[in-house]
Amino acid sequence: MTEPLDLAHLRQWIGRSEEASDIVTAQLVKGLRATLFLDIGMPTTGDAAPFTVHWCLAQPVYPASMLGPDGHPTRGGFLPPVPLPRRMWAGGEIEFIAPLRVGDEARRSSRIADVTLKTGSTGALCFVAVEHTITTPRGTAIRERQDIVYREMQPAGQSATPARQPAPPPAAKHRESHVSDPVLLFRYSALTFNGHRIHYDRDYVTKVEGYPGLVFHGPMQAALLVEFAAKLHGGTAPKKFSYRGVQPLFEGSEFSVNANETADGLELWVANAAGTPTMKATAVW
């Protein structure tokens, strides 16, 4: 960490807001369907988009001169300038109210809800909670909270992966397997205009951040879980979907999307080739 972490200063960002809008296009829907292993089809105006298409809309665009060494925009602006070099999605919660459709103009209203500081096994952890509301001309479509975590860089030669493995999940009643390859990661980065180098620059992710390979996007894992949940529930999105990252998932191997029924919905998780969970979620209807 190159500068002190002043929590009181960072909490001054709480309450800051911004708005952005974008159009749900047929081409975007085709690309996202293909990336999420869905039937691509020939989407036309009025057709429902994948449930997390809003993560592809109105993404911030900055000139190259304003990007940091990790490919993210430099700190500051809408998000607080947390002086920790590693930034990732930690989890969140989504309330699905109505589907987004091809041709929709979707407007996103965002607000910084909280900034907190914790200490973990890898050092200081700063969590920023961001609330979003997505609306269309028909009304509110989605409400969600995203939890973003900022972490310290690991010392040279030290692995960035956790030494303690999470407990194994129960046997899955429902399961699908896919392969996480660099093309899949590239496609999702392109759809979300995500320049974070951990998803495509192997030299950077292994030599600078200390991971063993390219890192699978947390939002893509969550998107796959949402689609799997809907598939198991007659094609309808859950009213509430909560998810959290457990550990990184890396490219180059098989991974699985898993689910079991619960009293009010589904317990879901993504697991790596060894069967170890990398993201856990719950879906409620």
pLDDT tens digits for range 178-230: 999 999 999 999 999 999 999 999 999 999 999 999 999 999 999 999 999 99
Where in the sequence is the domain holding 197, given as residue range(s)? 7-284
Residues 60-82: tens digit of each pLDDT:
999 999 998 999 888 778 999 99
Domain presence at residue 1: no
Place of tokens 């046997």: 171
CATH at 209: 3.10.129.10
Q: CA–CA separation, 54 vs 151, rounded Å?
A: 26
Q: CA–CA separation, 41 vs 241, rounded Å?
A: 26
Angle at alpha carbon of residue 89, lines to 111 and 181, rounded to 5°: 140
pTM value? Answer: 0.93
Number of domains in the chain: 1
Instruction: Give me the mean pLDDT over the 260-279 stretch.
Output: 96
Strand partners for 142: 96, 134
Tell me what the pLDDT averaged over the chain comes to: 93
| pLDDT band, residue 162 (cuts 50/70/90) | low
Domain presence at residue 278: yes
Q: Taking a C-beta distance cutoff of 8 angstroms, is the pair 190, 246 a contact?
A: no
Domain presence at residue 2: no
1 pLDDT more than 50: no
Instruction: Give me the mean pLDDT over the 154-162 stretch.
Output: 55
Task: Output the DSSP codes for 97-153.
Answer: -S--BTT-EEEEEEEEEEEEEEEETTEEEEEEEEEEEEEETTEEEEEEEEEEEEEPP
Domain presence at residue 200: yes
Which of 250 and 152 is assigned the larger pLDDT?
A: 250
